[in-house]
Amino acid sequence: MDLPTLWFFILGFFFIGYFVLDGFDFGVGMTLPFLGRDDTDRRVLINTIGPIWDLNETWVIVAGAVMFAAFPEWYATLFSGFYLVMLAILLALILRGVSFEYRHQRPEASWKRRFDRMIVIGSAVPAFLWGLVFANVVRGVPLDAGFNFTGSLLDLFNPYAILGGLTTLLLFFTHGVIFVSLKTSGSIHERARALAMRSGLLTIVVAAAFLVYTTVSYGTVWSGILSAVAAVTLIGSYIANLRTADRWAFALMATTIAVAVLSLFVSLMPDVMPATNDPANSLTIANASSSGYTLTIMSWVALIFVPLILLYQGFTYWVFRKRLSRASITEEVEPGAAGAGGGGAGAGPSGAGSSGSGEAAASA
Partner 1 sequence: MNDLLDPLLLSRWQFGLTTIYHFLFVPLTIGLALTAAIFQTAWVRTNKAQYLQLTKFFGKIFLINFAMGVVTGIVQEFQFGMNWSDYSRFVGDVFGAPLALEGLLAFFLEATFIGLWIFGWDRLPKKLHLATIWITALASILSAYFIIAANAFMQNPVGYQINQAKGRAELTDIWALLTNKVALAAFPHTIFACFMVTAALIISAAAWHLTRKQHVDTMRPALKFGLWMMVIAGILTIFTGDQLGLAMVQTQPMKMAAAEALYNTATGANASFSLFTLGTPDGVSELFSIRIPYLLSFLSTHTLNGTVEGINDLQAQYTQTYGPGDYTPIIWVTYWAFRYMILFGVLSIVTAVAGLWFTRKGREPKRWMWKVAIWAVPLPLAAMIVGWVFTEMGRQPWLVFGLLKTSDGVSPNTTGLEVLISLIAFTLIYGILAVVEFRLIKKAVHQGPEEPPEPDEVTGEIAHEATVY
Site for partner 1 in 281-320 (CB under 8 A): 290-291, 293-294, 297-298, 301-302, 305-306, 309, 312-313, 316, 319-320
Q: Which is nearer to partner 1, 36 or 219 (CB)?
A: 36
Exposure b/e, 208-230, CB count within 10 A at least 16 = b: bebbebbbeebbeeebbebbebb
Which of residues 218 and 320 has its CB atom nearest to partner 1 in the complex? 320
- Nearer Cβ to partner 1, position 162 or 352? 352
Q: Is-cis flag, bond preceding 33, omega within 30?
A: no
Give the residue with the Cβ less far from partner 1, 235 or 337: 337
What one-letter code names the amino acid at 156?
Answer: L
Residue 58 lies near partner 1 (rule: CB under 8 A): yes
Which of 102, 126, 124, 97 lies closest to 113 in space, CA to CA? 102
Among 33, 37, 87, 202, binds partner 1 (CB under 8 A): 87
Piece of 92-100, 132-140, 192-200, 228-236 that binds partner 1 (CB under 8 A): 92-100
The candidate with the shortest Cα–Cα distance to 332, out of 349, 347, 345, 351, is: 345
Among 83, 198, 239, 279, interactor with partner 1 by CB under 8 A: 83
**Site size toward partner 1, by CB under 8 A:** 91
Phi, psi (deg, nearest 5) at residue 198? -75, -50
Which residues, 134 to 163, sit near partner 1 by CB under 8 A? 144, 146-150
Task: Collapse the DSSP code of 143 into the 3-class scheme (helix H, G, I; strand E, B; otherwise coil) and give the result.
Answer: strand
What H or E segment, with its residue span, contains residue 284? Answer: strand 283-284
User: Does 66 interact with partner 1 (rule: CB under 8 A)?
Assistant: yes
Q: Phi and psi of 157, rounded to 5°?
A: -95, 55
Q: Centre a 10 Å sphere on the Cβ of residue 58 and count the other Cβ atoms it contains.
A: 16
Nearest to 215, CA basis, from 204, 205, 225: 225
Tell me how crowded residue 161 is: count the other CB atoms within 10 A of its CB. 23
104 part of the interface to partner 1, by CB under 8 A: yes
Taking the complex as a whole, the smallest distance from the CB of residue 345 to partner 1 amounts, in Å, to 7
State yes or no: residue 32 binds partner 1 (CB under 8 A). no
CB 149 within 8 A of CB 112: no
Asked if residue 75 binds partner 1 (CB under 8 A), the reply is yes
Binding part of the chain for partner 1, among 22-30, 168-176, 224-232, 346-354 by CB under 8 A, reads 346-354
Contact between 355 and partner 1 (CB under 8 A)? yes
Residue 74 vs 172, nearer CB to partner 1: 74
Query: Would you say 277 or 294 has its CB closer to partner 1?
Result: 294
